[in-house]
Amino acid sequence: MQTGSQITPDPQLTSVVETGPGQPEPSPAPTTPRKVGGGIGLWIRDLLISTGASILIITFLYQPVRVEGTSMLPRLEDRDRLFINKFVYHVTAIERGDVVVFRYPRDPEKSYIKRVIALPGDRLRIDHGRVWLNGMRMDESYVPKEYRDTKSMPEMVVPEDSYFMMGDHRSISSDSREFGPVDRSLIYGKAVFVYWPTRDAGVVR
């Protein structure tokens, strides 16, 4: 973001002079016909700049991805298209509840999308599908009752620089209950917005 932005007057705009009491009214300046071609040229220039800026934003900040699978139902469906923010975690911390994209620990060629459940140093256990974090039961409103399961896992402490991931569709999700906490270096984006299909469009929460 730039501060102290400058503006450059457009030569096609006619100057307006404000007169005060006792000052003579300035004689109107001779007008010249506007060039239609110049207006089209400026429009094309602005369009090209906007297109270039959009490409740079998508290339360096956002990346379109496609969901494959149903482990993040009900929010994300199979074949949904969404944008992930590749830059956000360079300036902000990963938080519980974030939906993130990471390289699968057992095969870095694959990418998974899951929800962050626990942070480094958290004490976590699962009792018949109920998640307990640092001695308190988590309120997981994003997991509908019909998608819960009854699996259990003994208490563990999430290692340093690692994150415990789970899918919202608990009964079918392959996640950190199976392959363990995910190292920070494997996380490369945050899911932010579904853009297709239109019925699913909206912010990812």
Positions marked catalytic: 71, 114
**CA separation for the pair 81, 67 (Å, rounded):** 6
164: helix, coil or strand? Answer: strand
Instruction: Specify whether the CB–CB gap between 120 and 160 falls below 8 A.
Output: yes
- Residue 115: count other Cβ atoms within 10 Å of its Cβ: 24
Contacts of residue 121, Cβ cutoff 8 Å, sequence gap at least 6: 157, 158, 160
- Residue 199: count other Cβ atoms within 10 Å of its Cβ: 9
Q: Can you say whether residue 22 is alpha, beta or left, with left for phi > 0 and alpha for psi between -120 and 50 degrees? A: left
Of 135, 93, 137, 136, whose CA–CA distance to 116 is shortest?
93
Q: Give how far the C-alpha of residue 169 lies from the chain's centroid of Cα atoms, to the nearest Å.
A: 21
**Residue 124 amino acid letter:** L
* Token pair in block for residue 10: 């457009």
